[in-house]
């Protein structure tokens, strides 16, 4: 056994813990299909949101961890339930009123409100695939419409007809009495209107593999369950898909956790083996509400990528997946900087620490070097005090701080400068609020200005931090009051970087000028 595999066998990183659980599934014999199958599901009822990416990213982390533990081949399927009926019109699309006529039709029959694809479902599928491709995920994309129509699902659908009573018994136990009266695991697609119908079955025939039902106008229809004429309700569909594909691992949000036993039971009733599960906590918006595709609250995939690279998003997804987290714009700078802190730490760590480092799981062990020598939070503050409208303004300060740095030699820094200007102008600038100093703070700022005026030491983070610290230590207890004053009076923010590092980057004369402005009342 290699050192990597041996160390991974005891790693406490959550993807390795999940991978070891999955490995036990095939301790006695390898999978008959020749590979271990990971699946992630996607409901394209609205524009793909960040939770969708999180599900694929986290599943990929477990898949990579499994590959470090075992030689059994793996495959990841991203399955889109695009045959689902559109229950309500999303609020975050152009001309939503134009879609009202298509309610209850499959998403792949609803026109694309953006006018780019044959249908709304295909538009949202394309958005998902584009992002997954951008990040470099290895996956196969499955469309429910194609899956049902192509015949790939026919065997399981026929088995569902043969075992209809057994599956209905599983489902009925979970339903209220009034719902039991009209429930069926099958949802026929009306041959004329194209609507997905929620109607009771008059007859389910195992000899002809057909269902007979009355539509909403009372007209009787008989349809084959194969060929895309009928789809399964979402809970039976979950278990049936596992059985049809032989899924070994699937993770989902905690709203599915209560249905886990139902999914498993249906999978077994259809002759399949239930997969291993992983239930993660939901993402919340700034108000603590669950992020929703249809309402478009929280941060979208494209919005995050406007202000930070994909790796910072993957880092955010790695952290504590079983803890509910606010997913709003203010989490971006912290995730950005913490990701690069982990990158910088990685080369000096032993193998055990490296396997516990999020960047191993983000990059599948092929961890790049960080060239971000100025923290993103520091660049934001620099953008604030310099009024930067483009990244070249920031580079003017960066070149003086680190003369050896160029956009070519430090691509992470170059990207971060561009992101920082964008983030500052969109989020920091509109809410920035400087305040006037108190008498105590004014005296301390005068002292700092004098100390900097007389300073002839190296323009380096630690040396300048000592100057800042000595001024505060004589006047503030606790010291937090001093640093809060620096941030609120000079930067117009409630928190900020190590101030010595900020002075080194912004410049000693420039910082003196900033203090002058604050003392003169020009900032507040």
Say what the pLDDT of residue 254 is: 84
> In this predicted structure, what is the pLDDT of residue 131?
73
Closest of 329, 341, 318 to residue 291, by C-alpha:
329
pLDDT tens, residue by residue, 475-519: 999 999 999 999 999 999 888 888 999 999 999 999 999 999 999
426-444 pLDDT per residue, tens: 988 888 899 999 999 999 9
- The percentage of the chain sitting over the pLDDT mark of 90, rounded to a whole number, equals 76
- Residue 295 CA to residue 288 CA, distance in Å, equals 14
pLDDT at residue 51, rounded to an integer: 76
Q: What percent of the chain has pLDDT over 70?
A: 96
Residue with tokens 């599915």: 256
pLDDT averaged over every residue in the chain: 92
Q: Is the pLDDT of residue 253 over 90?
A: no
Residue 300's pLDDT is 75
- 166, with CB counted inside 10 A (0-12, 13-18, 19+), is middle
Task: Return the pLDDT at 493.
Answer: 87
Residue 77 and residue 289: Cα distance in Å, rounded? Answer: 29
Is 308 in a helix, a strand, or coil?
coil
DSSP string, 266-290: HHHHTT----EEEEEPPEE-TTSPB
**Mean local confidence (pLDDT), 94-113:** 91
The whole-angstrom distance between residue 317's C-alpha and the CA centroid of its chain comes to 6
The better pLDDT of the pair 92, 149 is held by 149
pLDDT band at residue 301 under the 50/70/90 scheme: confident
3-class state of residue 518 by DSSP: helix
Q: How far apart are CA 48 and CA 342, in angstroms?
A: 28
Q: Which range among 68-72, 133-137, 159-163, 248-252 shows the weakest confidence by mean pLDDT? A: 133-137
Ramachandran region, residue 218 (left: φ > 0; alpha: ψ -120 to 50; beta: rest):
left
Among residues 283, 275, 284, 295, the alpha carbon closest in space to that of 253 is found at 283
pLDDT band at 124 (very low <50, low <70, confident <90, very high): confident
User: How does pLDDT run across 258-277, given as a tens digit for each residue?
Assistant: 899 999 999 999 999 999 99
* The pLDDT of residue 115 is above 70: yes
pLDDT for residue 165 is more than 80: yes
Confidence of residue 48 (pLDDT cuts 50, 70, 90): low
β-partners of residue 300 are 49
In this prediction, residue 394 carries a pLDDT of: 95
pLDDT given at position 221: 98
| Integer Rg of the chain from CA | 29
**Tens of pLDDT along 171-230?**
999 999 888 889 999 999 999 999 999 999 999 999 999 999 999 999 999 999 999 999
pLDDT at 296 over 70: no
Q: Measured between alpha carbons, how far is 24 from 13 in angstroms, rounded to an integer?
A: 17
Band (pLDDT 50/70/90 cuts) for residue 128 is confident
- The pLDDT value recorded for residue 293 is 53
pLDDT of residue 330: 85
pLDDT in the model for residue 255: 81
| CA–CA gap between residue 339 and residue 149 (Å, rounded) | 44
Residue 18 CB neighbour total at 10 angstroms: 23
Q: Is residue 521 predicted with pLDDT exceeding 80?
A: yes
pLDDT confidence band for 456 (50 / 70 / 90):
very high
Q: What is the pLDDT of residues 82-98, one digit of tens each?
A: 998 998 888 778 888 88
Angstrom distances, CA of residue 377 to CA of 2, 430, 499:
40, 17, 12
- pLDDT digits 0-9 by tens, 378-426: 999 999 898 888 999 999 999 999 999 999 999 999 999 999 999 999 9
Please tell me the predicted confidence (pLDDT) of residue 42: 84
């Amino acid at each position: 056994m290699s050192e990597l595999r041996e160390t991974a066998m005891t790693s406490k990183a959550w993807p390795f813990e999940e991978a070891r659980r999955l490995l036990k599934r095939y301790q006695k014999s390898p999978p008959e299909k020749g590979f271990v199958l990971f699946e992630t599901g996607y409901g394209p009822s609205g524009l793909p949101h960040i939770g969708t990416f999180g599900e694929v990213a986290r599943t990929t982390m477990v898949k990579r961890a499994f590959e470090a533990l075992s030689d059994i081949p793996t495959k990841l399927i991203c399955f889109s339930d695009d045959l689902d009926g559109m229950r309500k019109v999303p609020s975050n699309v152009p001309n939503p009123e134009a879609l009202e006529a298509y309610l209850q039709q499959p998403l792949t029959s609803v026109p694309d409100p953006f006018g780019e694809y044959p249908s709304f479902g295909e538009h949202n599928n394309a958005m998902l695939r584009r992002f997954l491709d951008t990040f470099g995920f290895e996956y196969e994309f499955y469309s429910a419409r194609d899956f049902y129509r192509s015949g790939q699902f026919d065997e399981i659908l026929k088995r569902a007809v043969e075992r209809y009573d057994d599956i209905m018994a599983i489902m009925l136990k979970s339903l209220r009495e009034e719902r039991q009266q009209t429930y069926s695991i099958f949802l026929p697609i009306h041959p004329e209107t194209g609507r997905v119908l929620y109607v009771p079955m008059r007859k389910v025939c195992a000899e002809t593999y057909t269902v007979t039902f009355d539509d909403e106008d009372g007209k009787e229809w008989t349809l084959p369950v194969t060929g895309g004429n009928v789809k399964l309700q979402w809970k039976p569909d979950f278990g049936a898909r596992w059985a049809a594909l032989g899924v070994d691992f699937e993770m989902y949000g905690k709203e599915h956790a209560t249905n886990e036993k139902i999914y498993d039971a249906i999978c077994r009733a259809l002759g399949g083996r239930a997969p291993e599960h992983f239930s993660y906590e939901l993402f919340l918006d700034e108000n603590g509400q669950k992020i929703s595709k249809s309402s478009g609250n929280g941060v979208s995939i494209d919005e995050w990528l406007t202000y930070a690279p994909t790796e910072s998003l993957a880092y955010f997804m790695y952290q504590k997946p079983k803890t509910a987290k606010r997913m709003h714009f203010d989490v971006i700078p912290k995730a950005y900087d913490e990701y690069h802190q982990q990158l910088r730490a990685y080369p000096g760590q032993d193998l055990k620490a490296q396997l516990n480092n999020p960047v191993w799981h983000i990059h599948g062990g092929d961890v790049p070097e960080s060239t971000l020598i100025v923290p993103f939070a520091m660049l934001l503050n620099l953008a604030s005090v310099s009024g930067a409208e483009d990244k070249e303004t920031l580079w003017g300060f960066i070149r003086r701080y680190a003369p050896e740095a160029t956009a070519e030699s430090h691509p992470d820094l170059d990207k971060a400068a561009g992101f920082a200007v964008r983030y500052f102008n969109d989020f920091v600038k509109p809410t920035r609020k400087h305040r006037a100093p108190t008498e105590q703070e004014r005296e301390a700022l005068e002292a700092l200005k004098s100390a900097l005026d007389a300073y002839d030491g190296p323009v380096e983070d630690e040396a300048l931090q000592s100057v800042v610290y000595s001024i505060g230590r004589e006047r503030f207890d606790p010291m937090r009051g001093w640093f809060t004053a620096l941030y609120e009076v000079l930067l117009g923010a409630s928190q900020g970087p190590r101030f010595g590092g900020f002075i080194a980057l912004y410049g000693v004369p420039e910082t003196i000028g900033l203090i002058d402005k604050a003392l003169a009342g020009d900032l507040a």
